[in-house]
Amino acid sequence: MEKNELMTAIFVLGILSGECMNLIKTNPLELCPQEHLQYGTLCPSMMEGENEEPFVKFAEWVPHFSYNNISSYGMEVKNWWERSVRVVSVDEFGAKGDGETDDSKAFKKTWKEVCSSAYTVFLVPHGKKYLVKPVRFSGPCKSALTLQVSGTIIAPGDPKVWEGLNRRQWLRFKGINDLTVTGGGTFYGSGDQWWAQSCKINKTNPCQSAPTAVIFESSNNLRVKNIIVENSQQMHVKFRKCVGVHADHLKVLAPAHSPNTDGLHISASRHVVITNSIIGTGDDCISIVGDSFNIKIKNIICGPGHGISIGSLGKGNSEAQVSEVKVHGASLYNTKNGLRIKTWQGGSGSAKGIKFQKVHMENVKHPIIINQFYCDSTKPCPTKASAVKVSDITFKNIKGTSATKEVMRFACSDMVPCENIVLQDIDLTLSSGSTPTTFCENAIGYTIGSVSPQSCLQRCQQCKEEHAITHNFSYLPKDEL
């Protein structure tokens, strides 16, 4: 097969899979994980359609070309890859991969090489464990590149390693555009000693910062696919000041008792898509904070943890903006919270245009929460008049069981009430079989369809009519007001 014919085939497959890649600006090919990988696998990406049922294709992968095929076609692909993309292994720069030797210098040298070259792959080989101290990987790089983590990267277990360094980070990727991180391997945070020192575990300890395992900062066109992040020191993966992120088929895991170990944390980022992932940690499975817009979350399994959260917002009298967030398809199991928006008193800004839909809950302690009086402090938080405005929030097709009697709570400010809260097709019962309750304070909105337990929202006919016009509803029965 000629090179041009191969590129055409890949291009067509990209279109059929729902994602047409820019072959000039981004990687022309993407490596996929394969055991005993020698060269990798060509794998067009797939993005599920908007109307597909959650979990239908959760474990399916796109058909792919394999370099290891014993055929003339496979050999032609292999030979073309060798001519076109350079794969640079950390082993080439002296990494031992025995889990005990410090391989940090080898990782830094490998990064310097691939970042300064065109169309390169940074390879962390399968079957090895690489001990790496805190490292910052900086751009800009010469062209798009792939970080192929097929082995395991391990953080030092002793917090003393961070003395004199930034205690908030382990592996940090900053200023890198068109980066793909994939490979089926693991980032292992070795967080046990950090958790033991936390003031949330031992109240006598001072409250100190701890590292986020993997940080992506100020990077555009970022793809993070098919990796595991486990037992982080604190947060697992953070996207900060990024534009155009697609995170897919991730596993983020830590024990339920691990403090502040958010799974995926989105901060000051736009156009973020998170799909087909399993997250179970000691804090929020997914958290979204200030200045984040156009966030789409689909097909998520969450538990243990604190659910899916917007916030906290407005801490320290700060201003925060979050809008256009959509959660479509999630299952939450034995989590502390389900779907939550939390803001501090005294803040300003807004959380609006947020929609949670098609969510199943099982034994969740607090399934639906809006709380404008959030206070994560050892001392009582003073009452303040200002608050982050919460409006245009929809909970649709939320079903399952609650571990506590109060299944919906809307605690809003009297000065800045929550407005245009929509409850549609809600069916939440108690795991114990008792009668569930709801709580509302300064929360204004309406219901559509069947809502159980019964809503306590202050009814707003004008809000409902505006919603109907916005969403092209031709008819809304009066009994749904």
**What pLDDT digit, counting tens, does each position of 121-167 carry?**
999 999 999 999 999 999 999 999 999 999 999 999 999 999 999 99
Question: Which residue, 34, 61, 81, sits at the end of a domain?
Answer: 81
What does the pLDDT average to over 276-303? 98
Write 78-85 long-range contacts (CB < 8 A, 24+). 78/39, 80/3, 80/6, 81/29, 81/39, 81/40, 82/39, 84/28, 84/119, 85/28, 85/29, 85/119, 85/120, 85/121
Question: Is residue 452 in some structural domain?
Answer: yes
Question: Which residue, 43, 65, 81, sits at the end of a domain?
Answer: 81
Question: Is residue 433 in some structural domain?
Answer: yes
**Is residue 155 a contact partner of residue 165, using CB atoms and an 8 Å limit?**
no
pLDDT at 476 over 90: no
Question: Is residue 353 in some structural domain?
Answer: yes
**Is residue 420 a contact partner of residue 465, using CB atoms and an 8 Å limit?**
no
pLDDT by residue (tens digit) across 381-435? Answer: 888 888 999 999 999 999 999 999 999 999 999 999 999 999 999 999 998 878 9
The active-site residue, picked from 283, 284, 328, 366, is: 283
Task: Indicate the number of domains in the chain.
Answer: 2
The active-site residue, picked from 306, 328, 360, 366, is: 306
- pLDDT at position 382: 86
Range among 74-78, 104-108, 468-472 with highest mean pLDDT value: 104-108
Query: In degrees, to the nearest 5, what angle opens at C-alpha 16 toward C-alphas 10 and 17?
Result: 90
Q: How far apart are the first and last CA of the chain?
A: 64
| Local confidence band at 461 (pLDDT 50, 70, 90 cut-offs) | low
Pick from 269, 221, 272, 219: nearest CA to 250: 272
E strand residue ranges, 168-291: 169-174, 179-182, 186-188, 212-217, 220-230, 237-240, 243-253, 264-267, 270-280, 286-288
Active-site residue flag, 471: no
Question: Is residue 114 in some structural domain?
Answer: no
- pLDDT at position 432: 85
Q: Which residue has the tokens 């019962």?
A: 429
pLDDT at 350 over 90: yes
Active-site residue flag, 467: no
- pLDDT at position 467: 57
Question: Which residue, 48, 81, 114, sits at the end of a domain?
Answer: 81
Question: Is residue 233 in some structural domain?
Answer: no
pLDDT at 449 over 60: yes
| Local confidence band at 84 (pLDDT 50, 70, 90 cut-offs) | low
Which domain range does residue 313 map to?
307-481
Question: Is residue 88 in some structural domain?
Answer: no
- Report how far residue 287's alpha carbon sits from residue 232's, in angstroms, rounded to the nearest whole number: 16
What does the pLDDT average to over 327-333? 98
Question: Is residue 186 in some structural domain?
Answer: no
Q: What is the dihedral of CA 149, 10, 78, 223, to 10 degrees?
A: -10
pLDDT at 327 over 50: yes
How many residues belong to the chain? 481
Range among 79-83, 205-209, 326-330 with highest mean pLDDT value: 326-330
pLDDT at 227 over 60: yes
- The pTM assigned to this predicted structure is 0.82
| Local confidence band at 85 (pLDDT 50, 70, 90 cut-offs) | confident
- pLDDT at position 2: 47
Question: Is residue 379 in some structural domain?
Answer: yes
